[in-house]
Amino acid sequence: MKKLAVLVSGNGSNLQAIIDSTKCGILKNMAKVCLVVSNNANAYALERARNEAIKNLYIKWRAFEDDSFFDREILKQFQNLKIDIICLAGFNRILGKSVVKIFDGKILNIHPSLLPKFGGKGMYGRFVHEAVIQAGEKKSGSTVHFVDENYDTGKIIIQEAIDVLPEYTPNILAKKVLEIEHKIYPKAIKKIIEN
């Protein structure tokens, strides 16, 4: 049984999809979410974790002099709980080099586009969907990839595409892509465990 940590800054619907898949989906008897960490005290993801009796932490990013202090704190949590896989699910910070190095090949991120298109710094949430529509793309989708030291450049694990219809607004596209995210994130975790 692999131990998962999920890092999230917002609502946590992907967190919920992962939790649900460990209880009665494709990750049942394979993985368990043991830790949820947020850098946002008001993230609904923390409430989701409490509802599931999962250890959850709010770590104030700005409470530390520099990012290395945050990284040391988060590493301590991962190591104390013997975390196997770290899942970024709408986590709006880049992890430090020390964390990425220690957990190389064990940190996943989900991104709301077909990387390498529409990735990089500043490309998250509605900004991605606005850019996709503005560019006149015929396809969009979601990507789960390994985390490296840069934004959205790690090796791709899984992608799924959808058609972008002419009547789609950024909000409609966001909703369609989120549905894909909920399906492919557990699949990506399963691939890593089986590998």
User: Which residues are the active-site residues?
Assistant: 111
* Amino acid identity at 10: G
Residue with tokens 């430090």: 96
Determine the Cα–Cα distance for residues 61 and 40; give it in Å rounded to an integer. Answer: 9
* Amino acid identity at 85: I
One DSSP character per residue, the chain reads -EEEEEE-SS--HHHHHHHHHHHHSTTTTTEEEEEEEES-TT-HHHHHHHHTT-EEEE--GGGSSSHHHHHHHHHHHHHHTT--EEEESS--SPPPHHHHHHTTT-EEEEESS-TTTT-STT--THHHHHHHHHTT-SEEEEEEEE--SSTT-SPEEEEEEEE--TT--HHHHHHHHHHHHHHHHHHHHHHHHH-
Determine the Cα–Cα distance for residues 186 and 28; give it in Å rounded to an integer. Answer: 10
